[in-house]
Amino acid sequence: MPNKKSTEVLVGALGPQKTFSDLACDWYIQKELKHKARKKLYSSIWEVFNALKKGKIDKAVVPIENNIYGTVRETFDSLFKSAFSIILQFSLPVHHCLAVKKGTKKSKIDKIISHQQALNQCRAYLRKNYPEAQRISFQSSVAAIKKVISARNLHRAVICSVKAAKDYDLKILDQNIEDQKKNRTLFAVLSKEPKIDVKGKNMRTSIAFHFQKDSPGTLFSVFKEFNDAKINMTKIESRPTLPKWGDYIFFLDFEGSLNDSNVKKILKKVKTKVALLKVFGSYPLKKV
């Protein structure tokens, strides 16, 4: 079990420090747990899930999707294989800056480095302002920052958060360089124990299912149950299963709570139509 004080919660998240997942973990601890927690960062999403499974942490904060570049596949695959519950989802704005080691001249920049997601989210800016610069992907924006700091020449720039740039004493050349100004990433808080109090407004429920055999109308039959019950489906995502090409797992989010009698009836019907139904729980959805 985690080594902690009786009132303290140990929260795991994807690292390293100063990345957006780290900042999301900080927000959860400060705003939801009121600082009565410590965090532990891991180098992959799989490691975060594994730590929660083995009881090394009490809660996990993992990225679910970016509103521009879609879902985080590793999170969805790990979630389906786990027995964890989603107890909260929240979205944070994602703003990028372009930073350099002090002394670097803008005209001399020939390499721009960062995490691939950050490079993707700033494509138009890079095409317009640095069309000749080579773009190099790193495992994290912080790893890219450290590369810029350690480089002997002054030809590199990094895309990162303003906070990370300031913390590492870099010079910021430009801010808010993301192509879409409404760029946001959705995070989920996971727990071994489901959230008991699942009442209130703005509640969502997440499930996943797959069929024993693919045949015409099977997926429609599930969607029809929600349509007939007038339950709004807010997200539909499919992921291929590993054993056989062409078989898919379907992830579905919808408005409502597991405490709602209407939701209970729908899930009971859906269970009879699928080979496996997993319910990840009901939770509030917050926009920060």
Distance separating alpha carbons of residues 194 and 143, to the nearest angstrom: 35
Distance separating alpha carbons of residues 267 and 256, to the nearest angstrom: 12
Residue 129, CA distances (Å) to 114, 145, 156, 182, 189 in order: 16, 20, 14, 21, 38
Residue 204, CA distances (Å) to 85, 90, 92, 129 in order: 13, 12, 18, 41
Q: What pLDDT digit, counting tens, does each position of 211-236 carry?
A: 877 677 889 999 999 999 999 999 99
Q: Which CATH code, of 3.30.70.260, 2.60.120.620, 3.40.50.1400, 3.30.2290.10, is assigned to 203-287?
A: 3.30.70.260
Alpha-carbon Rg for the chain in angstroms: 21
> Tokens at residue 130, please?
């640095």
* CB-CB contact of 256 with 205 (8 Å): yes
Cβ–Cβ contacts within 10 Å for residue 43, how many?
Answer: 12
Q: What pLDDT digit, counting tens, does each position of 161-177 carry?
A: 999 999 999 999 999 99
From-to residues of CATH 3.40.190.10 in the chain: 9-94+183-191, 97-175
Q: What pLDDT digit, counting tens, does each position of 93-107 carry?
A: 999 999 999 999 999
Residues 6+ apart with CB under 8 A from 226: 232, 233, 254, 266
Q: Which of 60-69, 128-137, 199-208 has the lowest mean pLDDT?
A: 199-208
Residue 2, CA distances (Å) to 28, 51, 115, 149, 264 in order: 19, 10, 31, 35, 35
From-to residues of CATH 3.30.70.260 in the chain: 203-287
Q: How confident is the model at residue 245 (pLDDT cuts 50, 70, 90)?
A: low
Q: How confident is the model at residue 75 (pLDDT cuts 50, 70, 90)?
A: very high
3-state secondary structure 196-253: CCCCCCCEEEEEEEECCCCCCCHHHHHHHHHHHCCCCEEEEEEEECCCCCCCEEEEEE
Q: What percent of the chain has pLDDT over 70?
A: 94
Counting beta carbons within 10 angstroms of the beta carbon of residue 180, is it exposed (0 to 12), middle (13 to 18) or buried (19 or more)? middle
Q: What pLDDT digit, counting tens, does each position of 169-204 carry?
A: 999 999 999 999 888 999 999 999 887 666 667 799
Q: What pLDDT digit, counting tens, does each position of 252-279 carry?
A: 999 999 989 999 999 999 999 999 999 9
Cβ–Cβ contacts within 10 Å for residue 142, how many?
Answer: 23
Overall fold of domain 9-94+183-191: D-Maltodextrin-Binding Protein; domain 2 (3.40.190)
Residue 266, CA distances (Å) to 126, 187, 224, 273 in order: 48, 26, 10, 11
Q: What percent of the chain has pLDDT over 90?
A: 74
For residues 125-153, give the mean pLDDT. 94
CATH code of the region 97-175: 3.40.190.10
Distance separating alpha carbons of residues 214 and 272, to the nearest angstrom: 15
Whether the pLDDT of residue 3 is over 70: the answer is no
